A and B are shown apart, each in its own frame.
Chain A
């Protein structure tokens, strides 16, 4: 077994060893239900699709992903187990990636538990299954990028509350960076090219583009490269903290 999978297995099981998993899953499903049926206008739309669910997924993960990711490294530091973990004969990136994948798979479990929604709309009507699959891919990608941001922030502190709050703010900015709310703030004093660059990292833009049912290479590259660079940054931060 590779060190990565050893770390992954321990981390993934640890979610279910505490009430965290139950609380997270119940809250996620409860909120998903409220959003899709009450706020999303599922009945009023009169269409058998999951748009009313998917459009709220980024906002759900905005609060729930940081709740999962805040413990990734901050808790290791508080418990002192980081001293054992980082002196085991395994490359650091195995621990970083293993922990991230465990958190990601956990959030995929939450997404998978919304399958009854899918089954229901398929039974009620004849939804475009490709669009629904794309919606789930988009949702998984958003969870991934938020958890990667959260893991990075968690590596910077041993205080989980700080990790949570900073991650929510960071995810919010990245989520909305394509919107006037954020862009107007930069527009006054930044070069137009830089503002365009900020606009292009907007999670919501890429999410919406995926959710339309068109899995474009550009959007997948955006999410995958974002996650990978955050993994590199997290590894770098943990290594850097050894020398300060």
Chain B
């Protein structure tokens, strides 16, 4: 399988705080990577470096074969990005916003309406297309964020908490969508919900205090729990991995 995301030895410091401390991540087409970790572990910072919103203090990122710092436009063309909190311009309608993103991404004018209609159907936005984003519920805003990330059908998707704020039905729909897209794309999504990793991800990467402490399949992750643990086995492993490293780093 083709390697689409290649991040080598990423470091990021904010003043004296070391937010990310040597993260290496390689993702192939067809993989859905669940990016896990406690709050403040460096998930968002890592994703910001993957998309080039932040420059790493050390390390490099290649997306679809393009080195981000050398060829930023080509690299950015290759991914869709849902930032933390799914930001969007509040004064625009959903349709205007998606048109803006599509134009800025260089999609041919003749195709824009069809692309918008397609993504609106996939993330169930049809009923709110002419509503101002400001007036949408949290769940709809999140779906607008997903829609703008997939409007150009990119080979790479980077999503910071795509299901945060969605109700169980919406969560299910978004997971189905990610699973469908995951067969051909390289997807990285961060989440707090361990069941989500089991439900949609082919691989789990756990970071704690800026370091990768686990990288493997969800089944391998769960298998790290001793047989004596019968309930919430993933929670148990997560606690073991992230609280131990927190102690070590102190």
Q: List the A residue with the shortest CB-CB distance to B80.
A: A87
Given A1-B103, A1-B109, A7-B104: A18 and B54 interface contact (C-beta under 8 Å): no
A38 contacts partner chain B, Cβ-Cβ < 8 Å: no
* Alpha-carbon distance between A17 and B96 when the two chains are bound, in angstroms: 12
Partner of B76, one of A1, A6, A88, A242: A88
Given A3-B104, A84-B148: A243 and B55 interface contact (C-beta under 8 Å): yes
Given A6-B100, A14-B91, A242-B53: A80 and B76 interface contact (C-beta under 8 Å): no
Mask of A1-14 contacts with B, CB within 8 angstroms, 1/0: 10100110010011
B81 CB contacts on chain A under 8 angstroms: 83-84, 87
A193 contacts partner chain B, Cβ-Cβ < 8 Å: no
Q: List the A residue with the shortest CB-CB distance to B78.
A: A89
Inter-chain contact total with CB atoms closer than 8 Å:
71
A192 contacts partner chain B, Cβ-Cβ < 8 Å: no
Partner of B85, one of A7, A80, A88, A243: A80
Mask of B103-130 contacts with A, CB within 8 angstroms, 1/0: 1111001000000000000000000000
B48 CB contacts on chain A under 8 angstroms: 83
Top 3 closest pairs, chain A to chain B, by CB: A80-B87, A83-B83, A243-B55
**Interfacial residues of chain B within 145-186, with CB under 8 A of chain A in the complex:** 148
**Highest count of chain A CB atoms <10 Å: which of B48, B74, B89:** B89
B73 contacts partner chain A, Cβ-Cβ < 8 Å: yes
Beyond contacts A10-B89, A89-B74, A89-B104: 7 other A-B pairs, Cβ-Cβ < 8 A, are: A14-B92, A84-B101, A84-B148, A86-B52, A87-B81, A88-B76, A89-B76
**Interfacial residues of chain A within 51-66, with CB under 8 A of chain B in the complex:** none
* Alpha-carbon distance between A34 and B8 when the two chains are bound, in angstroms: 63
* Alpha-carbon distance between A6 and B99 when the two chains are bound, in angstroms: 10
The answer to whether A91 and B85 have CB atoms under 8 Å apart is: no
The answer to whether A80 and B84 have CB atoms under 8 Å apart is: yes
B96 CB contacts on chain A under 8 angstroms: 13
Partner of B88, one of A81, A86, A91: A81
The answer to whether B51 and A87 have CB atoms under 8 Å apart is: yes
The answer to whether A88 and B101 have CB atoms under 8 Å apart is: yes
A90 contacts partner chain B, Cβ-Cβ < 8 Å: yes
A79 contacts partner chain B, Cβ-Cβ < 8 Å: yes
- Number of chain A residues close to chain B: CB under 8 A: 23
11 of the cross-chain contacts (CB-CB < 8 Å) are A17-B91, A18-B91, A79-B87, A81-B89, A83-B48, A83-B83, A87-B51, A89-B74, A89-B76, A89-B106, A243-B55
B90 contacts partner chain A, Cβ-Cβ < 8 Å: yes
Given A3-B104, A79-B87, A80-B84: A89 and B55 interface contact (C-beta under 8 Å): no
A81 CB contacts on chain B under 8 angstroms: 87-89
Q: List the B residue with the shortest CB-CB distance to A17.
A: B91
A87 CB contacts on chain B under 8 angstroms: 51-53, 76, 79, 81
A88 CB contacts on chain B under 8 angstroms: 76, 101, 104-105
The answer to whether A86 and B105 have CB atoms under 8 Å apart is: no
Mask of A78-115 contacts with B, CB within 8 angstroms, 1/0: 01110110111111000000000000000000000000
B24 contacts partner chain A, Cβ-Cβ < 8 Å: no
* Alpha-carbon distance between A6 and B107 when the two chains are bound, in angstroms: 12
**B13 nearest CB across to chain A (Å):** 10
B92 CB contacts on chain A under 8 angstroms: 10, 14, 17
B60 contacts partner chain A, Cβ-Cβ < 8 Å: no
The answer to whether A89 and B85 have CB atoms under 8 Å apart is: no
The answer to whether A83 and B52 have CB atoms under 8 Å apart is: no
Given A18-B91, A79-B90, A80-B83: A86 and B53 interface contact (C-beta under 8 Å): yes
The answer to whether B83 and A89 have CB atoms under 8 Å apart is: no
**Highest count of chain B CB atoms <10 Å: which of A79, A87, A243:** A87
B202 contacts partner chain A, Cβ-Cβ < 8 Å: no
A18 CB contacts on chain B under 8 angstroms: 91
The answer to whether B88 and A10 have CB atoms under 8 Å apart is: no
B28 contacts partner chain A, Cβ-Cβ < 8 Å: no
B109 CB contacts on chain A under 8 angstroms: 1
B54 CB contacts on chain A under 8 angstroms: 242-243
Partner of B100, one of A10, A17, A244: A10
Q: List the A residue with the shortest CB-CB distance to B132.
A: A17
**A22 nearest CB across to chain B (Å):** 14
B51 CB contacts on chain A under 8 angstroms: 83, 87
* Alpha-carbon distance between A79 and B103 when the two chains are bound, in angstroms: 21
